Structure 1
Amino acid sequence: MRILITNDDGIHAPGLTVLEEIAREFSDDIWVCAPSEEQSGAGHSLTLNRPVRLQKFGERRFAVTGTPTDSVMMALREVMGDAPDLILSGVNRGANLGDDITYSGTVSAAIEGALAGVRSIAFSQVYSHETAGTDAEFAAARNWGPKVIKPLLDAQFPSRTLINVNFPPCSSDAVKGVRIVRQGFHDYARGSIVEGKDPRGQRYFWFGLHAIEHTLDHGTDLEAIDDGYVAVTPLQLDLTHYASLDTLASRFAE
């Protein structure tokens, strides 16, 4: 089985190393093509206003001076030759839950894979201040990742769908299991804006990542993580709100 690994935290991110270790439990034919620098929050963006450069770091290991979407496109069209059987994106350092998936470069890399007709899974490790920067930071993802992938290897992914996986911020032993859940939604707009001044006295603004209040609707990814479960969510790329088609059509009818 041929596996492509990518992420949005960059080619040197520890979560990418964790995902490589997970992938090698299933195959020796592993390819890595990831952004050369962190691209968190890049979403499903393409680099259009400057050239994209491809850097080779070793056999089957490449970096792209662009976004996660750029990385997947370059891997499929320039690097690999034959298409992969599976695309794994992550392991992101931080959650990609609820409406945050629309910002996520990690999920967007898997979206690009799904658009290309390749089974694609995004992985994120929910952040914990207690384990940040330690060997335990990705422990839940490292130990539970293979348990999530194995049942999906022979599963048929419907066209233009992907799987989004989030691991709870606890020790591997404390994880209660896996829940298949729907996407939740936060109650308020994401994050905050922090204002400051640079050394020359000019104002700048930094988008903050403060905790967001949310209601834990039953059966959502937000609830599953809060309860200590791995959240597995199937996503679809068809954003059409079908129930509105006839209503809107009537407004434009002659």
Structure 2
Amino acid sequence: MRILLTNDDGIHAPGLEVLESIARDLSDDVWVVAPETDQSGASHSLTLSDPLRSREIGPKRFAVSGTPTDCVIMGLRHLLDTPPDLVLSGVNRGQNIADDTTYSGTIAGAMEGVALGVKSFALSQAYGWDAASQVNWDCARTHGARVIRKLLAVETPGDTLFNINFPDCAPDDIKGLQVTRQGKRDQNLLMVDAREDGRGRPYYWLAFRRHLSNPAEGTDLYAIYNNYIAVTPVKLDLTDHDMLASVAGALAE
């Protein structure tokens, strides 16, 4: 089995090393095509107005001056001599659940794999709500290959990927796997941090507040808060099918 790896934290991110160890438990044919720099929050964006540059930094290992989506396209359409059987994106530094899903470059890497016809999974490792917390990668490293093997046996539609999130706990404290739906936080956590530079001119950081929600059972939020590995099937089709009839009726009047 040939596996293509990417991420949004960049080619030198520790989570990518964790993903490589997971992938090598599954196959000895592992390729890495990852962004040259951190692309967190890039979502499913493409680089169209600037050229892409690719740099080979080792056997079957490339850094690309673009987004996770660019990397998957470069891997499948240019760098690999034959297509992969699986695309793995991650392991992200921090969970990608609930509202994070639409912002995540990690999930977008898997989205592009699916869009190009390859079974694809996104993997993320949650970590503490204290801003000074360090990421404990052992949970993803220990359980990642086992979870992927189980999911490889599942027949999936051509536009569906799996979003896998590992909770912030020791590997032995995992309570199990939960198949979840995308949750919704109690509040939007994005904030604008306004500052001034040395000349008194304003500049801004977009940042996330650390806040625990009170999620419903069955959601990815609930699973992660309660030490379960959350597996969420995600479709590329964003149509609100429940709304079709009512909108058609309104437009027909």
TM > 0.5: yes
Q: Which amino acid aligns with 1:49?
A: S
Show CA shifts across 1:99-135 (max 9, x none). 21100000000000011111000000002257616xx
Specify the code of the residue in structure 2 equivalent to 1:14: P
CA distance in 2: counterparts of 1:247 and 1:218, whole angstroms: 29
AA partner of residue 67 (structure 2): T
Corresponding residue of 2:176: 177
Alpha-carbon separation, structure 2, partners of 1:220 and 1:243: 20
Superposed displacement of residue 146, structure 1: 1.3
| Residue identity in the other structure for 2:36 | S
Which shifted more, 202-211 or 66-75? Answer: 202-211
Distance 1:9 1:26 in 2: 23
1:8 aligns to 2:8 (yes or no): yes
Could you list the per-position Cα deviations for residues 43-102 of structure 1 after superposition, in whole angstroms to 9, with x for gaps in the alignment? Answer: 000111211111111111001101000000100001012110000000000010112110
Q: Give deviations 1:153-198, integer Å, cap 9, x for gaps.
A: 2322211000001111111111111111111011212321111111
2-structure distance, mates of 1:235, 1:44: 14
- Structure-1 residue corresponding to 2:134: 132
Residue 214 (structure 1) shift:
2.3
| Structure 1 equivalent of residue 195 of structure 2 | 196
Which residue matches 2:38? 38
**1:186–1:212 Cα contact (<8 Å) kept:** no
Q: Distance in 1 between matches of 2:95 and 2:50?
A: 30
In the superposition, the TM-score normalised over structure 2's length comes to 0.96
Larger deviation, residues 146-155 vs 43-52: 146-155
> What is the CA distance between 1:212 and its match in structure 2?
3.4
TM-score normalised by L of structure 1: 0.95
Q: Distance in 2 between matches of 1:131 and 1:192?
A: 20
Measure the CA separation in 2 of the matches of 1:112 and 1:186. 26
Distance across 2 between alignment mates of 1:20 and 1:227 = 27
- Percentage of identical aligned residues: 51
Alpha-carbon RMSD across the aligned residues, in angstroms, is 1.3
Aligned to 2:54: 54
Note the residue ranges of structure 1 that are not aligned, 5 or more in a row: none
Residue equivalent to 1:17: 17
Q: State the distance in 1 between where 2:154 and 2:214 align.
A: 32
Deviating beyond 3 angstroms after TM superposition, the runs of 4 or more aligned structure 1 residues are none
Partner of 2:101: 101
Rounded Cα–Cα distance in structure 1 between residues aligned with 2:251 and 2:144: 49
User: 1:203-218 maps to which residues of 2 (within 5 A)?
Assistant: 203-218=202-217
For residues 163-174 of structure 1, what are the structure 2 equivalents within 5 Å?
163-174=162-173
> What secondary structure, in the 3-state scheme, does the structure 1 residue paired with 2:109 have?
helix
Q: Secondary structure at 1:148's aligned position in 2?
A: helix
CA separation of 1:131 and 1:144: change in aligned 2, threshold 3 A? farther
**Residue in structure 1 matched with residue 227 of structure 2 by the alignment:** 228
CA offset at residue 142 of structure 1? 0.3
Match for 1:225: what amino acid?
I
